[in-house]
Structure formats: structure tokens, C-alpha cells
Amino acid sequence: MSVADKVMTLSGPSSPGLATRHDLDAYCSQKPEILMKTLGTSAAGLKHEEAGHRLAQVGRNVLNTGSEVTALGLFLNQFKNPIMLILTFATIASALLGDLVDAVIITLIVLGSALLSFVQEYSANTAAEKLKEQVKIRATVLRDGQPQSIPADEVVPGDVVLMEIINRFRLEESRGTSRVSPGAFQVEYGGLAD
């Protein structure tokens, strides 16, 4: 479900007339006041109760990664490789021609290669999942007019998200070359501007 679809689901009895499909099609070009009205929010952000209600309605702000691949599925995927298909065909051809020694040797090579590829891919996927669990992305939003740090998956349509540049840099001219050093750029929240 897209963000626009999620916002559209908010136009129930508790949030009458929150948004129409036409309003959402051009939301990037809208003035802040119109956008806030369209999303049913204000410059002070959402109230905690409304944010909780919207979270219950539209769900968590996460990407759908598709279906989970099982270990068996991952192993069987190793045989989709063109080289593996050619070797499998060679095994079948050798067996049909009566050369069983070659068929057994090619089968052992194919299975060994598939097993090694499976172990490497399974280890990489497991490591990536562990990293994903350790990284907790947070967002700073205005709730009840106060900046609050929340898990990024709890950001809902209508939240006012505060952004800042963490690394600050300054351009310096040094011996005819440009150098970037800390300290030059700063972004601070100053409210919504036209």
C-alpha cells in the first residue's frame, strides 16, 4: 500500500474529509498550509492520540520485503545458475549415453558447487538480518508541539518530521584547491516556510 493509499484510509469518520486522491497527487507542490490541511495536521504536529489512531489504521512505516526465502528454497535457487543448468544437462546426457562414471562425477561437482554457494549465500543473508536487527532508525517528529525521537517505523501520514544535517562542513580555499572541513553548514528548525 502506497503512502497516498494509507493517507486515503484516514478519511474515515474520525478524520472526515482528510484527503482526496486529487489532493495527494500534487502534494509536493502545495503550500505548507494547504498540505497540513490535506493531511489533517498542523505546524505543531499531531497529538499523541491522533498519531496512535493513525498508526493503528495505516500500520507501521516499513517496506514490504516480499516473501521470506527458506533454506530449502535458497538451496534450490543455486540450480537456476546457467552453469549449473548446463552441468545438469551434461549429467543427464552422460547417464543416457551409458557413461555412468562421468554422470556421477558431474553430479558430485554440481552438488558440491551448489552446497558451497548455498553456505555462502545463507551466511550472508543471516549476517544481513542480524545487522538489520541491530540498526534502529529513529526519526524526530513534532508531537503535541514538542520534538520527540520515535522509531522510524512509527512515523504516520501527517507527522511533521524534523531534519538536520549531522555532519557539518565548511569550504576552504587552500593552495588553489577546494577543501571541505567541519563547521560551515548548519540547518536548524525554524518552522514551516513558503
Q: Is residue 75 part of a domain?
A: yes
Low-confidence ranges of the chain (pLDDT < 70): 1-27, 66, 165-194
What DSSP letter does each residue of 9-42 carry, written as one string? HT-STTSTT---HHHHHTGGGS-HHHHHHHHT--
At residue 63, the pLDDT reads 78
pLDDT value of position 114: 93
Which residues form the domain of 152? 3-65+140-182
Are residue 76 and residue 52 in the same domain, yes or no?
no
Last residue of a domain, one of 97, 115, 134: 134
The whole-model pTM stands at 0.50
**pLDDT value at residue 33:** 84
Supply the pLDDT for residue 194.
40
What's residue 129's pLDDT? 84
pLDDT digits (tens, 9 = 90+) for 110-132: 999 999 999 999 999 889 888 88
For residues 83, 87, 88, 89, the Cα torsion angle rounded to the nearest 10 degrees is 100
Q: What is the pLDDT of residue 26?
A: 64
- Report if residue 188 sits inside a domain: no
Say whether both 86 and 109 belong to one domain. Answer: yes
28 in any annotated domain: yes
Q: Same structural domain for residues 149 and 55?
A: yes
| Same domain, yes or no: 106 and 146 | no
pLDDT confidence of residue 21: 54
